[in-house]
Amino acid sequence: MSDYTFTRVSSDENAFADGEYTDELQKMEEKNGNYGRTISVEWLIVAPEDYKNRLKWENFNIGSDKPEIREKAKQSLNKFWSQMTEDEDGASFDFSKVLYKEAVLKIKNYMGKDGLIRPYVVHRTPTEKLENKFPVEVPQTPASTAAALNDELPF
């Protein structure tokens, strides 16, 4: 591999534009690593075409040593689960419920403390919820809406 040299890619070139992306949840797993217990989510972008087949990750560091990070991660994970499922309070996290589910992700870029721009998922809407949001019913056969006028008064 001596004929290939490293070229640094800036984070700006990898950033997503602010907007909505149709994605499919490819993988959700629990990991124990250097930062404690983490729930990792991997999304595959389906649309728009310019971003198709790119990956977007979300990580919820629910086992952080720092209480403020741990609580924020738990709150974010609960928000994620509320948007992706219809589970009631107290239900356990069953990752198979959300695997391969398609959703529209709203992504927004924020400047980090280190000065780098990072894209964050700020909202998720499963596509099945979008399809049922505005059902349109079309009559299959024409029906008369006018009735004959009854102008006789009973005495």
Q: Give me the pLDDT at residue 122, please.
A: 93
Q: Give me the pLDDT at residue 25, please.
A: 95
Spatial contact of 105 and 124, defined as CB atoms under 8 Å apart: yes
Q: Give me the pLDDT at residue 118, please.
A: 85
Q: Give me the pLDDT at residue 33, please.
A: 80
12's CB contacts (< 8 A; 6+ apart) are 117
Q: Give me the pLDDT at residue 145, please.
A: 59
Q: Give me the pLDDT at residue 85, please.
A: 92
Q: Give the single-character DSSP code of 133.
A: T
Q: Please, what are the averages of pLDDT over each run of 10 residues along the chain (155 residues)?
A: 65 75 95 88 93 92 92 94 91 91 93 85 87 58 61 63
Q: Give me the pLDDT at residue 72, please.
A: 94
